[in-house]
Amino acid sequence: MTQDMDAGAKETLRLIGPAPGNWVPDRAGIDHNVVLVGGGQTGCAFAWALRRAGIGKVSVIDAAPDEAHAGVWLNAARMNLLRTPKALVGPEIGLPALSFQAWYEARHGREAYAAIDRILRVDWAAYLSWYKQFLGIEIRYGTTLNRIEPVGDHFRLHLSSGIETTRKIVLANGVGGNGGPYYPPALAGLPVSVRAHTADRIDFVALRGKTVAVVGGAASAFDVAGVALEAGAGEVHLYVRRASVASVPISRSRGFPGAYDNYRSLPDAIRWQQAVRFQRSGSTPTVDAIARAVAFPNFHLHLSSPWVSARMEGGQIVAQTGDRTVRCDFAIAGTGYFQDPNARVELAWFASEIMLWRDRYTPPDGEENEYLGTHPYLGEGHEYLEKTPGAAPFLRNIHVHNPAAFVSFGLPIGDVPSMKRDIPGVTARIGRDLFLADLDVHAVRMMGGVVSDFEPELYAAALDPVAPGRGIG
């Protein structure tokens, strides 16, 4: 008899029962209650959470043409192992049978799971694909969001497939969802044929035998260096602006439940201080990411070596790094992302109305940070807030669940560490907002008639014959 690897997950769905029916009243001319922008792990987890909250008419869109090109795990992500501990709560959110551990053990056994330290990236991608298929989450691939147009109490979404309307939007669109990939000025001026960002699809085969420069010192920089070396690059030089590779994961100091659960309630000064501390400490690559690159004798690490300038000469890149001049055939920026809603075509029409941290908080001397100041200052439900009161009230219906929420919520939002806390929190906020927006309808419904469970005949035989109103005696 063939073992059903999904038996445990099926039993869990049986035990929790069917999802509640959609309790959100229909509105004329409104296609969706919620549109989730992004069909990766975050979008799928939100789709499931909203379904279990009884919020219907939810649509998930993704610009990628199909599942294989969606999200980061089979595309821009190049690590062999996930950077987060294997035991963190992920998209299962309260249902262990839907967790990676349950999925993995059903296929490989408990001992196999106990033997792994961290999760293989390709295994995580396979699990997410199963999660989506098993729960019946439909993604509208090949659907690009070109503009969000506020119209009264809802939005018109200008999609590549046409115009649709929605009451709520969740931006679950990844690391560049509130800005884009950041290029240092020296790299930005180079021809696009000789440069790339770690966010890009890179033809590593074309780099075989070439001298490749990687600018940056975080995990993605070491990951891309490792892939280039494995693909046969002649030499890979990694340039780090710091005097040493960041090795202290400073954010762990606030990983205890009190800080994790209540981070949004912290005063602005403390949240800002924590963000500045993280920036100064630096984003740490994993041990295996470094080991992967340094295992190659043709890998060279250059510390205290920011790229000051770069130009083309004789078909090669000639760059100045401090007092050194270096040459390479191709350069890859592993320098993260910038935050600027004006750079997002879908947000550009009202980006100037979004409150940023620099609009809300003035740091004390010594804690200034231009990059952190460009992050949006978000409300408790991850919603945008308006810079000028009354100028853009519609912003409260756009919920940000991508790394732009870092300063407000203290985590790389959209990654696994944020799921346990923030997906239930945002889902609850969406439900509250939709409920209160239609309170008149719900109040009538709550005052409506209810059919009796039984008639007086059920207890008639046990009635005391004493006349009503007379006591015993």
How far is the C-alpha of 384 from the C-alpha of 366, rounded, in Å? 28
* CA 432/CA 24 separation, integer angstroms: 11
Q: Are residues 209 and 315 in the same domain?
A: yes
Q: How far apart are CA 169 and CA 179, in angstroms?
A: 17
CATH code for position 325: 3.50.50.60
Residue 346 lies in a domain: yes
Q: Are residues 309 and 353 in the same domain?
A: no
Q: Provide the residue-wise pLDDT of the chain in tens; the chain has 473 residues.
A: 468 999 999 999 999 999 999 999 999 999 999 999 999 999 999 999 999 999 999 999 999 999 988 888 998 899 999 999 999 999 998 899 999 999 999 999 999 999 999 999 999 999 999 999 999 999 999 999 999 999 999 999 999 999 999 999 999 999 999 999 999 999 999 999 999 999 999 999 999 999 999 999 999 999 999 999 999 999 999 999 999 999 999 999 999 999 999 999 999 999 999 999 999 999 999 999 999 999 999 999 999 999 999 999 999 999 999 889 999 999 999 999 999 999 999 999 999 999 999 999 999 999 999 999 999 999 999 999 999 999 999 999 999 999 999 999 999 899 999 999 999 999 999 999 999 999 999 999 999 999 999 999 999 999 988 756 555 55
Beta carbons within 8 Å of 419's beta carbon, 6+ residues apart: 42, 45, 88, 89, 90, 91, 93
Same domain, 317 and 200: yes
DSSP assignment letter at 282: -
Has residue 261 been placed in a domain?
no
Q: Judge contact between 177 and 38, C-beta under 8 A.
A: yes
133 and 60 within one domain: yes
| Whether residue 193 sits in one domain with residue 231 | yes
Q: How many residues does the chain have?
A: 473
Residues 390 and 374 in one domain: yes
220 and 71 fall within a common domain = no
- pTM, rounded to two decimals: 0.94
Phi, psi at 264, each rounded to 5°: -65, -20
Q: Tell me how many domains the chain contains.
A: 2
Give 117-175 as a DSSP string: SS-BHHHHHHHHHHHHHHTT---BTT--EEEEEEETTEEEEEETTEEEEEEEEEE---T
Within a domain: 262: no
Burial class (CB in 10 A: 0-12, 13-18, 19+), 37: buried
Looking at the structure, tell me whether residues 160 and 14 fall in a common domain. yes
- Give residue 49's domain range: 7-179+338-441
